[in-house]
Amino acid sequence: LASEFEIIRRYFDRPARSALLGVGDDAALLVPAVGMELVATTDLLSEGIHFRSGADPRKLGHKALAVNLSDIAAMGATPRWALLAIALPAADERWIAQFAEGMFALAARHDTELVGGDTTRGPASGPITICMTVLGEVPAGLALLRGGARPGDDIWVSGELGGAALALARPGIAAAAMRLDEPEPRVALGERLRGLASAAIDVSDGFAQDLGHILERSGVGALVHYDRLPRFPIDDPELERRCVLSGGDDYELLFTASQGARGEIEALPAEIGLALARVGSIQPGDPKVVVLDAQGRPIRVAPGFDHFAP
Ligand code: ADP
Ligand code: MG
């Protein structure tokens, strides 16, 4: 059986590239580029809460990193470095090897370096717990915040909404399962939105709820046209509304931008290979999301995801 240190050496210790010092010492040494601000984010995935027991470790490795890269993208930042803290009930080397493979495959695509972490035993038959931290960079003053939306701004969404929630509601649909298990962080889009978007967030807890976070921070309201929302194909209209408006885990970018930026934003899909839809507008007034159907009638929106919802 492998020791803690053998596991780290075999599966997590890769030669440092841009880090001054990566895995192997007491801590990593990192040098941010001149003129850049450091962006830091962390996300914890707990077995039984964020993923089911027996989930494919390769996909988990992907997702643990992807959800963090998505937060980096939503800030308009470029990911640089990652740290991984993981607690396992046992040193299952096959599981660890596959987890590392999934994580490093995505890391390589985004030029993100694993520079440290912690590997510990958790309680026997207790949950696998994965806590990933990603550090990124953004030119000083250009980070995309939640608080910059202004009345009159357009509201935009990337990709498609609802697929991940559909996978939970109806297991067995391969394309939906992909959206849930292997989300694609919209890093290139986030970088291109610097100086273009007025506010941004990634859709992790449901479109309406996440838009609500922008509204609260910005002190504005929003009007959204349901039929303009990019939707994962779902044959049951009731289920579709729930998945599209309130389903979590899509990891698309939801952003606002002035009407003057329309031309530039409309040119982005061809450049980055990702669809963008203009779905509504920011309104003066209370931080409320109003969603209208094709006939202009308001749609009742189910609450989004909340770990501590009563
Ligand atoms: P310490 O006891 O000082 O916390 P560790 O023995 O836990 O040091 O870790 C040794 C080195 O291995 C450190 O550089 C640490 O960042 C790195 N490390 C440990 N676990 C992981 C992991 N899962 N992924 C990446 N690096 C790791
Ligand atoms: Mg340690």
Which ligand approaches the C-alpha of residue 12 most closely?
A: 1
CA of 215 to the centre of ligand 2 (A): 40
Residue 174 has pLDDT above 90, yes or no: yes
pLDDT band at 1 (very low <50, low <70, confident <90, very high): low
Per the model's pLDDT, the better-predicted residue between 7 and 307 turns out to be 7
Instruction: For residue 149, give Cα distances in angstroms to 86, 196, 245, 252, 274.
Output: 37, 12, 20, 18, 23
**CA proximity to 139, closest of 31, 33, 68:** 33
CA of 131 to the centre of ligand 1 (A): 13
Q: What local confidence, expressed as pLDDT, does residue 305 receive? A: 83
Residue 310 has pLDDT above 80, yes or no: no
CB 147 within 8 A of CB 218: yes
Q: How far apart are CA 300 and CA 306, in angstroms?
A: 18
Per the model's pLDDT, the better-predicted residue between 226 and 302 turns out to be 226
pLDDT digits (tens, 9 = 90+) for 4-54: 899 999 999 998 899 999 999 999 999 999 999 999 999 999 999 999 999
Mean pLDDT, to the nearest integer, of 161-174? 97
| Closest protein CA for atom 2 of ligand 1 | 26
CA of 120 to the centre of ligand 2 (A): 8
CB 297 within 8 A of CB 227: no
Q: How far apart are CA 210 and CA 249, in angstroms?
A: 11
pLDDT band at 224 (very low <50, low <70, confident <90, very high): very high
Which ligand approaches the C-alpha of residue 21 most closely?
A: 1
Q: What local confidence, expressed as pLDDT, does residue 15 receive? A: 85
Lining residues, ligand 1, CB within 6 Å: 8, 12, 23-26, 84, 86, 114, 116-119
pLDDT digits (tens, 9 = 90+) for 89-146: 998 999 999 999 999 999 999 999 999 999 999 999 889 999 999 999 999 999 999 9
